[in-house]
């Protein structure tokens, strides 16, 4: 049996997208699950999509931005499962608009979920994970944790923060029972753009334009992304780039650390454009 098939996996943001796909694939492997989401209906739909499972599945309605709820989540998992072997800090949101189109409350909202949600997950689940012979932590950063993008100041700030935190944590956990992976998805076919919050001062057309642009660059399915993440866990990979787009961006950033955006902007507007 594999590490994942015989463990207890904790997943935030399991109500849709990659989180739902991770839950489905882990359940099919035989893993027990503690799935969470702020959306109770979506969470129930995920649970229903799992079908008959070998492992135990529990549902937890949790806002990852709320420290008290995350503390309670960890306590519930310990009480209902007795252990946790893998933590997938997957929950995340998007915010539309250039910096001058955002209110401070917009940025706080995003950082509370995308960054502090990861911190709370780590802080309260780490003592549980440390009790295992082997445990694994997966934190979801982004392609925008590798490069900065116009209109993504807040989102990039959160995902660069997740990346830096995760890499540092991985170094700290070296030699222990816990392995840490930073995941960088490129354009994944999920509803994150459709659920994004427009900045308080953003124009009315921004939402439509942003969704259209996202649809053009979203080339990887959530199912494929989840499968790639699980392979990385089994193989002890510290850093995962998901999608050919993310791999290309990583190379471009390395080759042109100060001038990558001029090239990338053209590709976002026209994915078929050549250098």
Active site residues: 155
Q: Give the SS3 label for residue 241.
A: strand
Do the Cβ atoms of 46 and 23 come closer than 8 Å? yes
> To 5 degrees, how large is the angle CA 56–CA 57–CA 59?
150
- Which sign, positive or negative, has the C-alpha torsion 70, 129, 171, 17? negative
Burial profile 98-118: b = 16 or more Cβ within 10 angstroms, e = fewer: eeebbeeebbebbbbbbbbbb
Q: Which helix (H) or strand (E) holds 179?
A: strand 178-185
Helices (H), the chain: 17-29, 40-49, 67-81, 104-114, 116-129, 153-172, 206-217, 222-234, 244-255, 260-269
Gap between the Cα atoms of 29 and 5, Å rounded: 5
Q: Which of 240, 237, 208, 242 is nearest to 222 (CA)?
A: 242
86-89: strand order across its sheet? 57-61, 32-37, 8-11, 86-89, 135-140, 178-185, 239-242
């Amino acid at each position: 049996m594999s590490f994942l098939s015989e463990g207890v996996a904790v997943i935030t943001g399991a109500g849709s997208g990659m989180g739902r796909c991770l839950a489905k694939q882990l359940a099919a492997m035989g893993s027990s699950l503690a799935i969470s989401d702020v959306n109770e209906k979506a969470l129930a739909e995920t649970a229903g999509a799992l079908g008959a499972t070998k492992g135990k599945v529990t549902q937890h309605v949790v806002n990852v931005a709320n420290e008290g709820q995350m503390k309670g989540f960890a306590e519930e998992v310990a009480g209902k499962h007795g252990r946790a072997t893998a933590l997938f800090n997957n929950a995340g949101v998007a915010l539309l608009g250039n910096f001058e189109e955002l209110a401070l409350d917009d940025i706080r909202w995003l950082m509370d979920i995308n960054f502090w949600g990861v911190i709370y997950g780590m802080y309260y689940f780490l003592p549980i994970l440390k009790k295992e012979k082997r445990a694994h932590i997966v934190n979801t950063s982004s392609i925008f944790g590798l490069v900065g993008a116009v209109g993504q100041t807040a989102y990039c700030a959160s995902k660069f923060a997740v990346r830096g935190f995760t890499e540092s944590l991985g170094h700290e956990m070296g030699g222990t029972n816990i392995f840490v992976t930073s995941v960088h998805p490129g354009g994944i076919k999920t509803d994150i753009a459709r659920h994004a919050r427009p900045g308080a001062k953003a124009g009315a057309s921004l939402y439509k334009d942003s969704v259209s642009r996202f649809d053009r660059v979203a080339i990887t399915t959530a199912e494929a992304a989840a499968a790639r993440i699980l392979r990385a866990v089994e193989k002890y990979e510290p850093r995962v780039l998901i999608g050919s787009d993310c791999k290309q961006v990583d190379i471009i950033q390395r080759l042109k650390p100060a001038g990558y955006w001029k090239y990338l902007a053209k590709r976002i507007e026209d994915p078929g454009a050549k250098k």
